[in-house]
Structure 1
Amino acid sequence: MKPRRSDGSDETIPAAPRVRWLDKKDGRRLIVFTSLGIGLTAGLVFAVMTIFVRLIGGEGSWWRIWTHELGDGQWFEASRVTVALVALTVAGGAAYLAYRRQHTADQNQKTAAETQRITAQAYALSIKQHDATLRRERRDRFTDAAAQLAHTSAAVRIAGVYAMAALADDWHAANDPAEVQTCVDVLCGYLRLPYDPEATENHQTRTTVTTHQFIPGGRTVSGQVEKHFEYRQNDREVRATILRVIKNHLELSAAVSWGDRVFDFHSAVLEDFDINRAIFRGPVSFDGATFTGKTTRFDEAKFTGEQTTFDGAKFTGASTSFCKAEFTGKTTLFDGADFTGERTSFDGAKFTSGWTTFDGAKFTSGWTTFDGAIFTSESTLFDGAIFTSESTTFDWATFNSSHTSFHTAIFTGKRTTFDGVEFTSERTTFDGAKFNSAHTSFHWAKLTGAQTTFHWAEFTGEHTSFDEAEFTGEQTSFHWAKFIGNQTSFDGSRFTGEVTSFDRPVEWRNVYFDWDPKPGRVATAVKPESVKPTEWPPKNFTMESDETHT
C-alpha cells in the first residue's frame, strides 16, 4: 500500500540503488584471471607431477619426467597423488574465493540496507516538512476565510463561506477531523450571530433596546441601560449559502460528508431552513433556535447521533415538516419547543431514541399532525404539552415505548384525534390530561399495553368518541376522570382486558356504552364483567364516597 501525504496524495518511496556485480570492465578482468587460473593450475599439476616422479624414480632430471622409466603402477600412483593434491589445492582456493565473494555480497547488502534506511529517513523528513508546509498554508487559508466572513461586503462573505467549506474538505482528505470540526464551528457560529429578517429587508443596521436599571428589591434607580444589536447588510443570501453548503455535505450522495461532525445551531435564526434527507451522525443542537420564513423542512432527515435537541426552539414559519424523519440516537428532546406556524407535521416520523421528550412543548399551529408516527423509544413523553391547534391528529400512530406519557397535556381547538392509534407501551398515561377540543376521538384506538391510565383526565368537549376502540391491556383505568361534554361514546368498543375501570369519576355526564340506554335507542349489549365498577353507572367521586370505598 502506498503511503499518503497529509494532503491525501499518493507518494512513492524512492527505490534503493541496485547493486551491480559486474560491469564491462569487470567482465574482461574475469576472463583474464580465469585464463591465468587455468594456466597456474596446469603449471601446478606439472610441478607436482615432476616432484613425485622424481621421488619415485630416485634419480634423473627433475623436469624431464618423460625420461624416467617407471612401471605402470608407479605412473598411476604419481598421477593419483598429483590429482589429489591439486584438487585439494583448487578446492581450497575455490572455498577462499567463495568466502570472499560472500563477504563482498554481505558488505554490498549492508551498504544497500543502509542506503535504503537513509533514503527512507530523508523521505520521511521531506514528508514531514511537506505536511508542515501544508498545515501552515491551511492555517493561512483559515485566517483569510475568517476575515472574508467578517467583511462588510456580502459578496466577499459568500466567497468566505465557500473558502471555509473547501478548507474543511481538504482537512477531511488529510484525515484531520478536529480541523474539519473547527471549520464547521465557524460556519455554525456565523448563523448564531444576531439576525433579524425584517431588519435585513429594510436595511436596518442596528437595534437599540433601552431598559431601566433595577436594584435588589425591584426598585428603579436613575439611569437607563441600552443594549445595541448590530446587523449585517444583505446577510440573507450569505446565511442561505451557509445552509446550502451544510446540506450538500450532509446528503447521502455527498462527495465529502460532514455527517460525523457536531452541529451547534443553538439560538440561531434560521430562515427557510431546508435540510431534507440530511444525515446527522453526530450530536446536533437547535436549542433556542428560531425557524422563520415560509417553510422549515426536515423531511426524511436522519438523526443518529447520541443527542439531538430542539429545547426551547421556536418554529414560526408558515409550514414546519418533519415527515418521515428518523431519530435513532440516545436522546431526542423538543422540551419547551414552540410550534406557531400554519401547519406542523411529524407524519411518518420514527422516534427510536432512548428518550424522546416533548415536555412543555406548545403546538399552536393551525394544523398539528403526527399521523403514522412511530414511537419506540424507551420513554416517550409529552408531559405538560399544549395542543391548541385547530386540528391535532395522531391518527394511526404507534406508541410502543416502555413508557408513554401525556401527563397534564392540554388539547384544545376544534379537533383532536387519536384514531387507529396503537398504545402498546408497557405503561401509557394520560393522567391529568385535558381534552377540551370540540371533537375528541380515539376511534379504532387499540389500548393493548400492560397499563393505561386516564386518572384525573378531563373530557369537556362537545363530543368525545372511543367508538370501536379496543381495551385489551391488563389494566385500563379512568379513575377520577371528568366527563362533562355533550356526549361521550364508547359505541362498539371491546373490553377484553383483565380490568377496565371507570370507578369514582369526578363527573359522569352523557356517557354512553353499548349496554347503556341512549336517547332514541335501547341497550344493545351486556356489560362485561371486566368493566368496573360492578354497580353501573359509576357514582361520582366525593370525599365521603372515597372514604367509604376505602
Structure 2
Amino acid sequence: MTNKRSPSNTSTPKPLGKWVVSGALATALLGGALFYLFAWQQLGRWWVWSLGNATGQQVFDSARTAVTLVGVIGLGGAAFLAYRRQKSTEETLDINRETTTHASKALEVSTKSLQVSTDTLVLGQEQLVLGQKQFEHETVRILRERYTAATEQLGSSSFAVRLAGLYALAALADDWQEIDKPNEQQVCIDVICAYLRTPTVPMQDATDDDGEPVLIEDFKGGSKAEHEVRRTAIRIINERTSPRANTPVPPAVAEFFDGPWSDRRFDLTGAELVDADFTSCTFDDIDLSNALLIGSTSFAASTLRQIRLTGATFAARGVPQGRASFVGAKLDTFIFDDVRMLVPCMFVGTQFRESATFRRSFFTERVSFDSAQFEESSSTVLDDVQFGIDMITFTHTKFDGPVDFSKVDFTLPPRIHFAEATGSKTPIATPESRRHFRDWPWTDDTDSDTDEPEQT
C-alpha cells in the first residue's frame, strides 16, 4: 500500500545559509525604513533623506523605536523558525513511526511465513516417516510371504523344487540383512541348517577293499539327487562366509573383510554332510557336535573363531578314501572332544591361537601337524586321546604355547616325528611316550643362556 503525502512534505527544503542571509538583509532594510519613517514623523516632513535638522533626541527616539520594532519582528521570525523546526521534527518522528510500524508488520508477516514454512517442513517429515514405516511394513510383509513359499519348497518331494527353495532362502536372508533385520536373517540360516540336520540322505553299510566297514550312499534310495541339494546348501554357506575384498583406488591395496554371514550362528549338530567344503570361510560360531561328516571335509584356510566338533564322526565315503583338512586354518576356540576320526586328518600349517581341546578323541588314520603353530596365547589339551596304527608327524611344528601330551596313548602309532620342531614352550610328555618320538628336539632342561629349550 502506497502512502500519499502532502506537497509540503515532499518539497525540497531550501538551504539554511540563503535563509540566514536573506533574513539579515531584510532585517537591515526594515530597520532602516522604520528609522526614517519615525524620524520623518517627528520632523513633520516626508522624504527628507538628510536629517541634519533633527535633534539628537529625535534621532535617538527614532532609532530606539526602529530597533524595538525590528527586535519584535526578529522574535516573531525566531518563533516562526522554531515552529517550522518543531513541525519538521514532528514530521520526521511521524515518518519514523510509520516506518517502524511497517517494519513491525513486515517482521510479523515474515514470522508467520517462517512458522508456516516450519509447520510445512514438520508435516513433510511426519509424512516421510509415515511413508517409510508403510514401506518397511510392506517390505516385511512381502519378505515373510517369500519365507513361507521358500520353506514350502524345501519340503517338496521334487529335487528341483528343493533346490529352488534353498536359493530362495539364501536370497531372502541377504534381503533381511539389507534392511538391518539380523534376527530374521538368522531365521533363514537356521532353516537351511535344520534342513542339513535332517537325515534324508539314504546310506548303507559296506566294506572297502581291505574289508574295513564304510558307509556308502544308497543310490536306489534317491541319495544322488539329495546329495546335490545338500551340496548346494553347503556351497551357499561357503559363498556367504568367504571373505570379501573391496575395490581400492590405486595405489591402495585391497582389504579383505568377513563375508555377510560370517557373524551368524550355524547350528549343524547331528547333521549328515557329504564332502562338506568350507574352504576359506570365516565363522564366528559353528556347531558340528555329533555330526556325521562323510568323505572329504575341508576347513582349509578358514578362520574359525569358535567351532564345536564334540562327538562328531569323520568317515570314508565308499572305496575312495576321504580326509579331514584344517590345512592353513586359524583356530581360536577349537573343541575337538570325543571325535571319531576314521579318515586322515591334516592340521598342516594350522594356527592354534587361543584354546584347543582334543579330549577322548580317536584317530585311526594318519594325523599331520606339520608346520602347525601353537601360538604363545594358545593352550592345547590332548586328554585320553588315542592314535591308531598310522604315523603322526609334527615336522617343523612351532610350539610357543603349552601343549600337553601327558595323557595321550602313543603305543600304537609306528612313527611319531618331531623333526625340526621348534618353539619356546616344550610340549609336556611322559618319558614313556617320548620313547616313541623320533627327532625329539628338546632336552629335559633349558639352556641357561636362553629362554628357549636347548636343541639337541
User: Shorter-chain TM-score: what band?
Assistant: 0.7 to 0.9
Please give the secondary structure, in 2, of the residue aligned with 1:263. Answer: strand
**Shift of the alpha carbon at 1:72?**
6.3
**Shift of the alpha carbon at 1:247?**
0.3
Q: Matched residues in 1 for 2:423 and 2:202: separation?
A: 43
Please give the secondary structure, in 1, of the residue aligned with 2:195. Answer: helix
The residue that corresponds to 1:457 in the other structure is none
**Shift of the alpha carbon at 1:182?**
0.7
Q: Matched residues in 2 for 1:79 and 1:87: separation?
A: 12
**Shift of the alpha carbon at 1:201?**
3.9
Which is greater in Rg? 2
Q: Sort the Cα spacing of 1:398 and 1:348 in 2 relative to 1 into closer, same or farther, 3 A.
A: same
- The 8 Å contact of residues 412 and 435 in structure 1, kept in 2 or not, is answered as no
- The 8 Å contact of residues 348 and 371 in structure 1, kept in 2 or not, is answered as yes
**CA offsets per residue over residues 262-290 of structure 1, 9 Å max, x none?**
0111111111111111011x211111111
**CA offsets per residue over residues 317-376 of structure 1, 9 Å max, x none?**
422211110012xx31101112212x32100101112x21111111111x2111111123
Please say if 1:311 is aligned against 2:305. no
Q: Matched residues in 2 for 1:283 and 1:446: separation?
A: 37
Q: Matched residues in 2 for 1:122 and 1:411: separation?
A: 77
Please say if 1:248 is aligned against 2:251. no
- The 8 Å contact of residues 262 and 283 in structure 1, kept in 2 or not, is answered as yes
The residue that corresponds to 2:384 in the other structure is 384
**CA offsets per residue over residues 145-196 of structure 1, 9 Å max, x none?**
0000000001000000010000000001011111111111111111100133
The residue that corresponds to 1:40 in the other structure is 5
Q: Matched residues in 1 for 2:274 and 2:404: separation?
A: 33
The residue that corresponds to 1:259 in the other structure is 262
- The 8 Å contact of residues 403 and 428 in structure 1, kept in 2 or not, is answered as yes
**CA offsets per residue over residues 196-249 of structure 1, 9 Å max, x none?**
3546542327xxxxxxxxxxxxxxxxxxxxxxxxxx782111101101111000
The residue that corresponds to 1:237 in the other structure is 228
**CA offsets per residue over residues 403-446 of structure 1, 9 Å max, x none?**
53441433423311122223633x7432486579xxx4341513
Please give the secondary structure, in 2, of the residue aligned with 1:422. Answer: coil
The residue that corresponds to 1:219 in the other structure is none
Q: Sort the Cα spacing of 1:133 and 1:433 in 2 relative to 1 into closer, same or farther, 3 A.
A: farther
- The 8 Å contact of residues 302 and 327 in structure 1, kept in 2 or not, is answered as yes
Q: Matched residues in 2 for 1:268 and 1:254: separation?
A: 31
The residue that corresponds to 1:511 in the other structure is none
Report % sequence identity: 27
Amino acid at match of 2:243: L
The residue that corresponds to 1:340 in the other structure is 342
Q: Matched residues in 2 for 1:344 and 1:135: separation?
A: 45
Following TM superposition, where does structure 1 have runs of at least 4 consecutive aligned residues deviating by more than 6 angstroms? 69-72
Amino acid at match of 1:162: Y
Q: Sort the Cα spacing of 1:419 and 1:381 in 2 relative to 1 into closer, same or farther, 3 A.
A: same
Amino acid at match of 2:293: F
Please say if 1:81 is aligned against 2:72. no
**CA offsets per residue over residues 509-535 of structure 1, 9 Å max, x none?**
xxxxx9xxxxxxxxxxxxxxxxxxxxx
**CA offsets per residue over residues 29-68 of structure 1, 9 Å max, x none?**
xxxx33xx2x32546679xxxxxxxxxxxxxxxxxxxxxx
**CA offsets per residue over residues 83-126 of structure 1, 9 Å max, x none?**
21111001001111111111111111111111211221121111
The residue that corresponds to 2:165 in the other structure is 160
Q: Matched residues in 2 for 1:361 and 1:406: separation?
A: 15
Please give the secondary structure, in 1, of the residue aligned with 2:220. Answer: coil
- The 8 Å contact of residues 442 and 454 in structure 2, kept in 1 or not, is answered as no
Q: Matched residues in 2 for 1:121 and 1:472: separation?
A: 75
1:185 to 185, 190, 194: 190
Amino acid at match of 1:263: F
Unaligned runs of 5+ in 1: 1-32, 47-68, 206-231, 453-470, 475-494, 498-513, 515-550
The residue that corresponds to 1:373 in the other structure is 372
Q: Sort the Cα spacing of 1:169 and 1:333 in 2 relative to 1 into closer, same or farther, 3 A.
A: same
The residue that corresponds to 2:446 in the other structure is 472
Please give the secondary structure, in 1, of the residue aligned with 2:157. Answer: coil
Aligned residues: CA RMSD = 2.9
**CA offsets per residue over residues 443-469 of structure 1, 9 Å max, x none?**
15135xxxx7xxxxxxxxxxxxxxxxx
TM-score under structure 1 normalisation? 0.61
- The 8 Å contact of residues 171 and 179 in structure 1, kept in 2 or not, is answered as yes
Please give the secondary structure, in 2, of the residue aligned with 1:40. Answer: coil
Q: Sort the Cα spacing of 1:473 and 1:111 in 2 relative to 1 into closer, same or farther, 3 A.
A: same
Q: Matched residues in 2 for 1:433 and 1:315: separation?
A: 30
Unaligned runs of 5+ in 2: 12-72, 205-216, 247-258, 317-321
Q: Matched residues in 1 for 2:431 and 2:312: separation?
A: 26
Please give the secondary structure, in 2, of the residue aligned with 1:380. Answer: strand
- The 8 Å contact of residues 372 and 394 in structure 1, kept in 2 or not, is answered as yes
In the TM superposition, what are the counterparts of 1:274-293 in structure 2 within 5 Å? 274-280=277-283, 282-293=284-295
Q: Matched residues in 2 for 1:187 and 1:126: separation?
A: 33
Q: Sort the Cα spacing of 1:278 and 1:287 in 2 relative to 1 into closer, same or farther, 3 A.
A: same
Q: Matched residues in 2 for 1:443 and 1:299: separation?
A: 28
Q: How many residues align?
A: 361
**Shift of the alpha carbon at 1:298?**
1.1
Q: Sort the Cα spacing of 1:244 and 1:408 in 2 relative to 1 into closer, same or farther, 3 A.
A: closer
Q: Say which is worse superposed, 308-317 or 175-184, in terms of deviation.
A: 308-317
**Shift of the alpha carbon at 1:79?**
3.4
- The 8 Å contact of residues 392 and 417 in structure 2, kept in 1 or not, is answered as yes
Please give the secondary structure, in 1, of the residue aligned with 2:5. Answer: helix
Amino acid at match of 1:388: G
Please give the secondary structure, in 2, of the residue aligned with 1:351. Answer: strand
Q: Sort the Cα spacing of 1:361 and 1:382 in 2 relative to 1 into closer, same or farther, 3 A.
A: same
In the TM superposition, what are the counterparts of 1:88-167 in structure 2 within 5 Å? 88-167=93-172
Q: Sort the Cα spacing of 1:435 and 1:472 in 2 relative to 1 into closer, same or farther, 3 A.
A: closer
Q: Sort the Cα spacing of 1:363 and 1:42 in 2 relative to 1 into closer, same or farther, 3 A.
A: farther
**Shift of the alpha carbon at 1:399?**
2.4
Q: Matched residues in 1 for 2:233 and 2:6: separation?
A: 90
**Shift of the alpha carbon at 1:314?**
1.2
Amino acid at match of 1:414: P
The residue that corresponds to 1:409 in the other structure is 409
**Shift of the alpha carbon at 1:78?**
3.9
